[in-house]
Structure 1
Amino acid sequence: MQNKIDRITDILRRDDGISGAMHYTEQISWILFLKFLDDYEEELKIEAMLNDKSYQSILDEKFRWQVWAAPKKDGKLDVKNALSGSDLLDFVNKELFVYLKNFKNNENFKSIEYKIGGIFEFIDNRIANGHTLREVINIIDELSFNKESDVFALGEIYEKLLKDMGSDGGNSGEFYTPRPLIKTMVEVINPKAKERIYDPSCGSCGFLVESFFHILYKDRAKREKANLSVEELEFLKNDALFGKEKTPLSYAMGVMNMILHEISSPNIIKTNTLSKKITDISEDEKYEVILANPPFGGKEKEQIQENFPVKSNATELLFLQHILKSLKNNGRCAIVVPEGVLFQNSNAFVSVKRDLLDDFNLECVLSLPSGVFLPYSAVKTNVLFFSKGLRSIIDEKTKDVYYYELIPPYKLTKNKPLEYTHFDEFLKCYKDRKITANSYLVSLEELKNRNYDLSAKNPNVKEEKSLREVEEILEELKQNQDKAKELFAGILKTIK
């Protein structure tokens, strides 16, 4: 399956309408989705027939994959009736996409029809050459998603496409949080069956998909499923996973990512999370688990800031307030924040950090190395793990915060990214709050006395003078040499 996707990306790179990984991932996505939907419908038809029931297709016959994309004759592509070139482009652009976009008018939020409308509302066909589109369709038609193993493989491939999209840098980085980091955060928070899980800036829904598999599988590598009841499984697929996303394309890719991972009814809303007054957040809008990597470095206008008790144009501070308000009693949260959140001492930052330390249980600060989000962002980040109303990890007597510095064996770059194995020691040490060369404890009292400065230096590391770069030393030697020549020339002049 991966070889076919690689062939498609090579084909699309030659098309005039495609520019970069974001475009070819977007285009592969909608075609893959329609093929997946066709196979999904075939399964539903068979299931209905076995139960002696009739089945109402989601799509009208004219717009079904087997009719417009890959009509068959004797089991092979019916070349005579398969559209290509300008005929194919006209049908896709003027009929198919118009039809699919109209699904957004469906009022049943939980229905697959509503989700289809949500996807195609923000995606258009960018493939400029109808013959190129025909090539891509023919390759994707060879894929089958009738078996669970096929769908599992599709999910893995889609993750790789999203990763390539994120690695492309620029604006496409918003779609992708490194999966090793997501997997680690989910593992620490440990979402359970019947818990509601929320990501207020869900992007491509990596946290929600990983949480789904964390609960669904006892051993994901071996595809050994957990012993969930029918009720628990239904809750997981329909009522456990919630997200909000502001950016149209991110929203579409996120919904598609969840559906392609067998989550047929994702509760994802396209909205600016920060546009809701946090005083209006009801108990129904609070969650047992929150996992997030909200946007940082952005600026929000005054109208949005009015929704928060602590006003700031820093998006990271507004999201943190929203998350604190959205966490249920006995809930758990892991959130990625830029390093500045730890040490910023303005009134706004201190006020929100005071709420965090006084009203919640800050259990761990995981310091991530530079380069985790390259090439999208070079900002150094941390993960805050905290809970509300329980102290499952913090020692009640000392109330210490566990700090851990993640130090990979090499400098992270675009071509040498973060790996899941880099978290091995952290995951072994976290629960027991084990002190190592990379970890230490800081008392809550000390953090409060420092005016809620959450940054801390590792006491296990001796202060070392930083060595200068070779280029810097050579440049200084050159300057000294030039200066010596000048002085020597001056001395010669006085002698003469």
Structure 2
Amino acid sequence: MINGEIKNKVDALWDSFAAGGLTNPLEVIEQITYLMFIRELDEADNIQQKENMMLGLPYTSIFAGEKNIGGQTIEGKELKWSVFHDLPADKMFILMNRFVFPFIKNLHDDKDSAYSKYMTDAIFKLPTPELLSKVVDSLDDIYKTMDKVRKSNLEKADSEGNLAENMSSDVRGDLYEYLLSKLSTAGRNGQFRTPRHIIKMMVELMNPTPDDKIADPACGTSGFLIAAAEYLREDPEKEKAIFYNPENKKRYMSSMFTGYDMDKTMLRIGAMNMMTHGITDPHIDYRDSLSDQNTDKDEYSLVLANPPFKGSLDYEMVSDDLLKVCKTKKTELLFLALFLRMLKVGGRCACIVPDGVLFGSSSAHKAVRKQLVDGNRLEAVISMPSGVFKPYAGVSTAVLIFTKTNHGGTDKVWFYDMTADGYSLDDKRTKVDENDIPGIIKRFKRLDKEADRKRTDKSFLVDKKEIVDNAYDLSINRYKEIKYVPVKYPPTEDILAEIMKLDAEATKDLQELKDMLGK
């Protein structure tokens, strides 16, 4: 979450674009994203250079040596944000148009790479040197403030013994989430990010390993893929297994992470996001995941996703393989069938679904739930409060965790009733003390300790047979027991006497007032 000071600075930046003649919200977001990418490319290159030096690994800066761009030669270091951001406006504008923007568009020699494909039609649209200079200064100011806030949060977290929770910071993600809130169509089109703390929770629950092949077939800005990559880097043993092994490192930089989306703007931002986070050749592709365009089958060991909820498709647009599992037009059900198809046997999935998936009475709803419970191993249902996705949407959701087996394996299903996620559940989403997430992670990793929990607790286990007997209903309210605390009221005659006493006092007071007015 970004604070009020940063929001004010972003608002001022947005106003600068409007004053400069750029008023289309998506174009503004795209242009800001390009400039953020250029800035962070410089920072990421410096960080990677330092990390490789510490690990004793060779590294060649992407800015090293001379660059031939459009038939003209320039020293690579002149393309660095930290070098050109202090240039006079006219010189910076020429450099950006002739060299810097063409440079980021052609970072990959491989023209078939996701990055190259989605940067091909990228256009630098800032019309004047003055606007560019103002935007560059504004972004520097925003990042400076962001660093100050992050440092303050880390110091506070350290003093409270809660440092780990605040170590991960996705600057672009926070800014981008706020920028998207300015789109009146954001909620309707589903173009909003899953809150980072929810993504991080799901990644920690799944505990990715260096051997995993990870996919998100509705990737948007690549939030889940980036969180999984960061999780691997933050674990010293896993980081060592990846970066000290040339083959593992190459796989991490390219084929380990796969993302699909149907929005080219999202794909472009997602590819840039992955690159800035150290994934040099991300496999981010334009694909209708539910159609025959997507042929992935038995391929991934881990799927992390928050697929579109409110979509409804024509049968002709949906892959026959998915319709065999559940004949429906509802995207939330079709994506569950897709996850099962994409996973290899033994592969795991953590995904977000709307509550309707858990208890819907249609044959398609029941077929999908039956497939999860009977045909594979359903492990957990984490019910989340409706405010998690505010201010964009108020829908109630749940996290499903399951493993593909193709031959059953569900014994007991773990349910958790999340009532707080560390933020207020209104549109403001301000930070609060109540937070179930640490407890969810701790309990899920020790399911053997959950057997004795009662149905009145935050979490409990439910036998498969009970779920089957309830028509595969997975809503927590079906199984949770409410603990009623008896309230003892006074006898009726005492209550009546008290009411009559109050009534008499009121009548007396009214009479006294009437007498005073009569005088």
Quote the residue 2:178 is aligned against.
164
Aligned-partner residue type, residue 306 of structure 2: N
Quote the residue 2:34 is aligned against.
30
The whole-number CA distance in structure 2 between the counterparts of 1:443 and 1:317 is 24
In structure 1, which of residues 451, 460, 470 is the aligned counterpart of residue 481 of structure 2?
460
What SS does the aligned partner of 1:82 have? helix
Quote the residue 2:88 is aligned against.
79
Please report the TM-score for the alignment, with normalisation by the length of structure 1: 0.73
Quote the residue 2:308 is aligned against.
295
Structure 1 segment 87-106 matched on structure 2, within 5 A: 92=97
Quote the residue 1:479 is aligned against.
none
Q: Is 2:466 the counterpart of 1:446?
A: yes
Quote the residue 1:489 is aligned against.
none
Aligned-partner residue type, residue 275 of structure 1: S
Aligned-partner residue type, residue 197 of structure 2: P
Task: Measure how far apart 1:302 and its partner are.
Answer: 2.5
Structure 1 segment 249-398 matched on structure 2, within 5 A: 249-276=265-292, 280-283=295-298, 286-307=299-320, 308=322, 309=324, 310-389=326-405
Q: Which segment is superposed worse, 401-410 or 61-70? A: 61-70
Quote the residue 1:212 is aligned against.
229
In structure 2, which of residues 242, 251, 264 is the aligned counterpart of residue 248 of structure 1?
264
Residues 46-99 of structure 1 show CA distances to partners (whole Å, capped at 9, x for unaligned) of 999989xx9674855579887689897xx9945386155xx89xx84xx77995
Quick one: structure 1 residues 55 and 298, their matched pair in 2 at CA, closer, same or farther if it must change by over 3 Å? same
The whole-number CA distance in structure 1 between the counterparts of 2:332 and 2:427 is 24
Quick one: structure 1 residues 140 and 424, their matched pair in 2 at CA, closer, same or farther if it must change by over 3 Å? closer
Residues 198-232 of structure 1 show CA distances to partners (whole Å, capped at 9, x for unaligned) of 00100111110010011111279xxx955643233
Residues 393-422 of structure 1 show CA distances to partners (whole Å, capped at 9, x for unaligned) of x9x7x8111110001187501212587943
Structure 2: which 5+ residue stretches go unaligned? 145-149, 152-165, 487-519
In structure 2, which of residues 432, 435, 439 is the aligned counterpart of residue 425 of structure 1?
439
Quick one: structure 1 residues 342 and 439, their matched pair in 2 at CA, closer, same or farther if it must change by over 3 Å? same
Task: Measure how far apart 1:30 and its partner are.
Answer: 0.3
The whole-number CA distance in structure 1 between the counterparts of 2:234 and 2:59 is 30
Aligned-partner residue type, residue 112 of structure 2: F
Aligned-partner residue type, residue 379 of structure 1: V
The whole-number CA distance in structure 2 between the counterparts of 1:361 and 1:294 is 21
Quick one: structure 1 residues 445 and 348, their matched pair in 2 at CA, closer, same or farther if it must change by over 3 Å? same
What SS does the aligned partner of 2:316 have? helix
Answer yes or no: is the 8 Å Cα contact 1:120–1:252 preserved in 2: no
Quick one: structure 1 residues 104 and 226, their matched pair in 2 at CA, closer, same or farther if it must change by over 3 Å? closer
Quick one: structure 1 residues 297 and 464, their matched pair in 2 at CA, closer, same or farther if it must change by over 3 Å? farther
The whole-number CA distance in structure 2 between the counterparts of 1:105 and 1:49 is 17
Answer yes or no: is the 8 Å Cα contact 2:42–2:80 preserved in 1: no
Structure 1 segment 65-214 matched on structure 2, within 5 A: 77-79=86-88, 82=91, 92=97, 108-110=111-113, 115-119=115-119, 121=121, 123-125=122-124, 127=126, 129-137=128-136, 156-168=170-182, 170-172=184-186, 174-214=191-231
What SS does the aligned partner of 1:193 have? coil
Quick one: structure 1 residues 410 and 83, their matched pair in 2 at CA, closer, same or farther if it must change by over 3 Å? closer
Task: Measure how far apart 1:460 and its partner are.
Answer: 3.5
Aligned-partner residue type, residue 13 of structure 1: D
What SS does the aligned partner of 2:349 have? strand
Higher RCO (CA-CA < 8 Å; seq separation 6+): 1
Q: Alpha carbon RMSD of aligned pairs, Å?
A: 4.4
Aligned-partner residue type, residue 91 of structure 2: A
The whole-number CA distance in structure 1 between the counterparts of 2:364 and 2:60 is 62
Residues 142-200 of structure 1 show CA distances to partners (whole Å, capped at 9, x for unaligned) of 989xxxx99x9996321221231354464435240001110110001111012101001
Aligned-partner residue type, residue 189 of structure 1: M
What SS does the aligned partner of 2:382 have? strand
What SS does the aligned partner of 2:483 have? coil
Answer yes or no: is the 8 Å Cα contact 1:119–1:256 preserved in 2: no
What SS does the aligned partner of 1:10 have? helix
The whole-number CA distance in structure 1 between the counterparts of 2:168 and 2:476 is 43
Answer yes or no: is the 8 Å Cα contact 1:97–1:120 preserved in 2: no
Aligned length: 435
Task: Measure how far apart 1:105 and its partner are.
Answer: 11
Q: Is 2:258 the counterpart of 1:238?
A: no
The whole-number CA distance in structure 2 between the counterparts of 1:30 and 1:107 is 20
Task: Measure how far apart 1:292 and its partner are.
Answer: 0.4
Please report the TM-score for the alignment, with normalisation by the length of structure 2: 0.70
